[in-house]
A and B are shown apart, each in its own frame.
Chain A
């Protein structure tokens, strides 16, 4: 028993050191397959006078001019109890806070990436009061605070979450954002054109989660030569020194639960 555990530790060390030097990247572009139409206008029935001038729209589906799907999450799946080798440049959690702003009666940005221990700064750039409620977090305890002007709320979280969770403002019920908290830097959100890139991944076979709110994991999504499972995960091989480019990944409304 003893010998076996020593062996395991020794083996672990060997694997660790050999993996150190080999890194690769993953990129791609999510494209909405279908007619997204123009974003739906919202029923702005709270603080109407102030909020309606900012014309907030339904952001549950944001498709760019070229058909790119924005605000989708792509991130590395890591089994519980296993840790992933992190590139030396990315090991340290940045000192700069990640800002989630209440602006124009919407959250900016709509999709937020945060590492455990990193500072989340919730601010309010509006002339009216907002509250920010993260009661939907699962591994971390949520909070629900009034966010005054000029006094941002500063928070950090200890536990990684398996999925992004909804952040809401109860005063303005149309306001929604998604927050993903991971204990490694390997996560991305698609930009307005649907592009995403995760850099400096350890080379090897990994599973990646594809997620879009509010519906959740994107099932049966064709990525490269494979497809995401019922759990929204696809196994992809990252080669050392290479960037795996998935090219255009087509997402249907059905896959987004529409």
Chain B
């Protein structure tokens, strides 16, 4: 049996997890490798180990996290969040992540804690560094305030509770730790891709850069190890990649969507004004070239339009599963493919059942990203990162107008707010102009 695409690090972690606590020889918890990425990129076992080593050098371990100064992360806050949960005599709490978060989000922040499989929606996988409920433009990272708000408010309609009872310093430490897990997860994927792109088994070169030829006239091949400690070029590349990750996060505050003062509806509007705005919002909701909201949220706003799409996290798994199924269907597999299929099937089995991205039922009045009008406005403006929901506003600061003007977005906000108060037995009256287009 060819074991060229090993699962050694992965199985090692599984063994740790299944070991009973209380045993003297228990290994400390370890970060789990992103096997969907590693197997997709056919990362050889030696490289998997080297990537894990480099990640450990950059970020430490779940018990002893480490942040290079280049990350700008606060080491004291990370220390407070990491490690086993305990309190000192003064009642100061440590190990906050394992006390409050790990059950769902997992030790690696991969959204695969012990309870994760039983939750709907699945807990967020922090590793891609994509967050849905934020104040920034679609491609941008969330700000610290955004993550803070999610921790304080929880995510209504999901298993994510509010942590508003924690002292402020604890919430801040957790925000820092969530960012840390994202930095680490993003770096992991970048390193896997770097190894695929740049390293591997290659022609051995002499000092002048010429290929060395063996007695049979074939070039001598060697595996280029991933060893940034001893290879300055690799070290530079790793630091560049880290800077890419950090820069995106550091730039979040410049990417906040601030509504233009003039477009914000007045605080006190007459019933007539409000009704007129709702009416406009309704029309935009059904307008194919404007809001086009109904094609996913359904003509009644029940979220029963387009239902067979996936969010980006699930889409990545679906792609992996589809490719695995395709490989399994093949008649003849060479040794390499057979071994690859084994690895793929093992990872595929570990994935949770796929779920579609179901558009929000707008008649419930439950808003996952917050129920301030500003929150709904930003959802319409930027869409929801990582999901099928597109943005209707400009796509970046200073970019030209999108499908909707700010005023129109506020109209839709008013309409969305009005939806829960109309009984389902009185479905929305579709403007006759658009009746034709909602036949499917």
State whether the Cβ of B19 lies closer than 8 Å to any Cβ in chain A: no
Complex contacts, A81 vs chain B, CB 8 Å: 233, 236-237, 240
State whether the Cβ of B27 lies closer than 8 Å to any Cβ in chain A: no
A146 touches B196 (CB 8 A): no
State whether the Cβ of A46 lies closer than 8 Å to any Cβ in chain B: yes
Known contacts: A80-B194, A145-B390, A146-B392. The answer to whether A170 contacts B399 by CB under 8 A is no
A170 touches B388 (CB 8 A): yes
B308 touches A162 (CB 8 A): no
Q: Name the residue on A nearest B196 (C-beta).
A: A231
Complex contacts, B386 vs chain A, CB 8 Å: 135
Please encode chain B, from 62 to 79, with 1 for each CB lying within 8 Å of some chain A CB and 0 for all others.
000000000000000000
State whether the Cβ of B139 lies closer than 8 Å to any Cβ in chain A: yes
Q: How far is the CA of A149 from the CA of B295 in the complex (A)?
A: 17
A129 touches B402 (CB 8 A): no
Count chain A residues whose beta carbon lies closer than 8 angstroms to a beta carbon of B: 42
Complex contacts, B288 vs chain A, CB 8 Å: 127-129
State whether the Cβ of A49 lies closer than 8 Å to any Cβ in chain B: yes
B193 touches A162 (CB 8 A): yes
State whether the Cβ of B330 lies closer than 8 Å to any Cβ in chain A: yes
Q: How far is the CA of A215 from the CA of B387 in the complex (A)?
A: 23
Nearest chain B CB to A173's CB is how many angstroms away?
6
State whether the Cβ of B403 lies closer than 8 Å to any Cβ in chain A: yes
B399 touches A154 (CB 8 A): yes
Q: Name the residue on A nearest B200 (C-beta).
A: A231
Nearest chain B CB to A257's CB is how many angstroms away?
6
Q: Tell me the B334-373 residues at the A interface (CB within 8 Å).
A: 336
Complex contacts, B330 vs chain A, CB 8 Å: 254
Segment of A21-29, A136-144, A181-189, A243-251 engaged in the interface with chain B: A136-144
State whether the Cβ of A147 lies closer than 8 Å to any Cβ in chain B: yes
- CB < 8 Å: which of A80, A154, A173, A258 contacts B308? A173
Complex contacts, A136 vs chain B, CB 8 Å: 312
Q: Name the residue on A nearest B308 (C-beta).
A: A173
State whether the Cβ of B395 lies closer than 8 Å to any Cβ in chain A: yes
Known contacts: A45-B440, A162-B193, A171-B295. The answer to whether A145 contacts B391 by CB under 8 A is yes
- CB < 8 Å: which of B197, B290, B309, B336 contacts A162? B197
Complex contacts, B273 vs chain A, CB 8 Å: none
B309 touches A173 (CB 8 A): yes
Q: Name the residue on B nearest A155 (C-beta).
A: B395
State whether the Cβ of A47 lies closer than 8 Å to any Cβ in chain B: yes
Nearest chain B CB to A220's CB is how many angstroms away?
9
Please encode chain A, from 77 to 95, with 1 for each CB lying within 8 Å of some chain B CB and 0 for all others.
0011100000000000000
Complex contacts, A79 vs chain B, CB 8 Å: 198
Complex contacts, B189 vs chain A, CB 8 Å: 138
State whether the Cβ of A40 lies closer than 8 Å to any Cβ in chain B: no
A141 touches B139 (CB 8 A): yes
Nearest chain A CB to B233's CB is how many angstroms away?
6
Please encode chain B, from 250 to 280, with 1 for each CB lying within 8 Å of some chain A CB and 0 for all others.
0000000000000000000000000000000
State whether the Cβ of B123 lies closer than 8 Å to any Cβ in chain A: no
Q: Name the residue on A nearest B388 (C-beta).
A: A170
A141 touches B140 (CB 8 A): yes
A171 touches B389 (CB 8 A): no
- CB < 8 Å: which of B233, B402, B440 contacts A146? B402
Known contacts: A129-B288, A145-B138, A173-B309. The answer to whether A80 contacts B198 by CB under 8 A is yes
- CB < 8 Å: which of A80, A139, A153, A258 contacts B237? A80
Q: Name the residue on A nearest B331 (C-beta).
A: A254
B323 touches A46 (CB 8 A): no
A171 touches B292 (CB 8 A): yes
A257 touches B323 (CB 8 A): yes
Q: Name the residue on A nearest B311 (C-beta).
A: A135
Complex contacts, B312 vs chain A, CB 8 Å: 135-136
Q: Name the residue on A nearest B255 (C-beta).
A: A141
Q: How far is the CA of A155 from the CA of B399 in the complex (A)?
A: 9
Q: How far is the CA of A149 from the CA of B403 in the complex (A)?
A: 8
B439 touches A171 (CB 8 A): no
State whether the Cβ of A116 lies closer than 8 Å to any Cβ in chain B: no
State whether the Cβ of B385 lies closer than 8 Å to any Cβ in chain A: yes
Q: Which of B140, B330, B395 has the largest number of chain A CB atoms within 10 A?
A: B395
State whether the Cβ of B222 lies closer than 8 Å to any Cβ in chain A: no
Known contacts: A47-B440, A48-B440, A128-B288. The answer to whether A144 contacts B309 by CB under 8 A is no
B138 touches A146 (CB 8 A): no
Known contacts: A49-B439, A135-B312. The answer to whether A146 contacts B390 by CB under 8 A is yes
Nearest chain B CB to A166's CB is how many angstroms away?
9
State whether the Cβ of B42 lies closer than 8 Å to any Cβ in chain A: yes
Q: How far is the CA of A257 from the CA of B193 in the complex (A)?
A: 21
Q: Which of B233, B292, B309, B389 has the largest number of chain A CB atoms within 10 A?
A: B292
State whether the Cβ of B244 lies closer than 8 Å to any Cβ in chain A: yes
Nearest chain A CB to B435's CB is how many angstroms away?
12
Q: Which of B42, B306, B336, B404 has the largest number of chain A CB atoms within 10 A?
A: B306
Known contacts: A45-B440, A129-B292, A162-B193. The answer to whether A144 contacts B306 by CB under 8 A is no
- CB < 8 Å: which of A131, A151, A154 contacts B390? A131
**Chain B contact residues, CB within 8 Å of chain A:** 42, 138-140, 189, 193-194, 196-198, 200, 233, 236-237, 240, 244, 248, 288-290, 292, 295-296, 306, 308-309, 312, 323, 326-327, 330, 336, 383, 385-392, 395-396, 399-404, 436-437, 439-440
* 9 nearest A-B pairs in the assembled complex, by CB-CB distance: A141-B139, A170-B388, A131-B390, A129-B292, A146-B403, A148-B403, A146-B390, A144-B390, A48-B440
A-B contact pairs, 21 of them (CB 8 A): A48-B440, A49-B439, A80-B197, A80-B198, A128-B437, A131-B383, A133-B388, A135-B312, A141-B248, A144-B391, A145-B390, A146-B402, A146-B404, A147-B403, A170-B388, A170-B390, A171-B292, A171-B295, A173-B308, A257-B327, A258-B326
**Chain A contact residues, CB within 8 Å of chain B:** 45-49, 79-81, 127-129, 131-133, 135-136, 138-139, 141-149, 151, 153-155, 159, 162, 170-171, 173, 215, 230-231, 254, 257-258
Known: A153-B395, A170-B296. 19 other contacts (CB 8 A): A45-B440, A46-B306, A48-B440, A49-B436, A129-B290, A131-B390, A138-B189, A143-B396, A144-B387, A145-B138, A145-B390, A145-B391, A146-B292, A146-B390, A148-B402, A154-B399, A159-B244, A162-B193, A162-B196
